[in-house]
Amino acid sequence: MTRTNALESLVIASFVRGLSTRDVENTRAEALGSDAALSKSTVFNICQAIRGEYDAWWMRDLTGVTLDYLFIDASHFRMHPKAPAEPVLAAWGIDTDGKPVFIGLEAAASESHDAWVNFSAGLLDRGLEPPLRHCRYRGLV
């Protein structure tokens, strides 16, 4: 079980870094040798499961999320070997109970005004309320 979890973690980490299914298989073979064989279909199934989980998380309803603070930022990552770094937009916040909440994550072509508007609109479309909307009792609105 531990060996299976370690292999799955390696596949997940490689996929998240933007490697193709074939690249994931080659990387696994280089790192662990042929004894730790995973078929291409197994690698593909793991990658598809991750994509499905991410899509469900990304499309989840944010109506019940009430934030005191909202933070947005971008980090730049290489999506493929030897490719230029590309921005990944992120949103997270602190809810009214003081707990951190990871709201959204999306790759973008650039860190432009339009990219941020589209990213923010997606959050609002899924029901996220702007933090200051619920702060009228604190003298902020």
CA pair distance 41, 31, nearest whole angstrom: 19
> Do 134 and 70 meet the contact criterion of CB atoms below 8 Å apart?
no
pTM: 0.65
Question: Domains of the chain: which residue ranges?
Answer: 2-58, 67-138
pLDDT bucket at 67, cuts 50 / 70 / 90: very high
| Tens of pLDDT, residues 29-60 | 676 666 656 677 877 787 788 888 888 888 99
Q: What residue type is assigned to position 116 of the chain?
A: W
The helix or strand, by DSSP H or E, that contains position 2, with its residue range, turns out to be helix 2-16
Given this model, what pLDDT does residue 117 score?
A: 93
Q: What is the mean pLDDT of the chain?
A: 79
* Distinct helix (H) and strand (E) counts, the chain: 4, 3
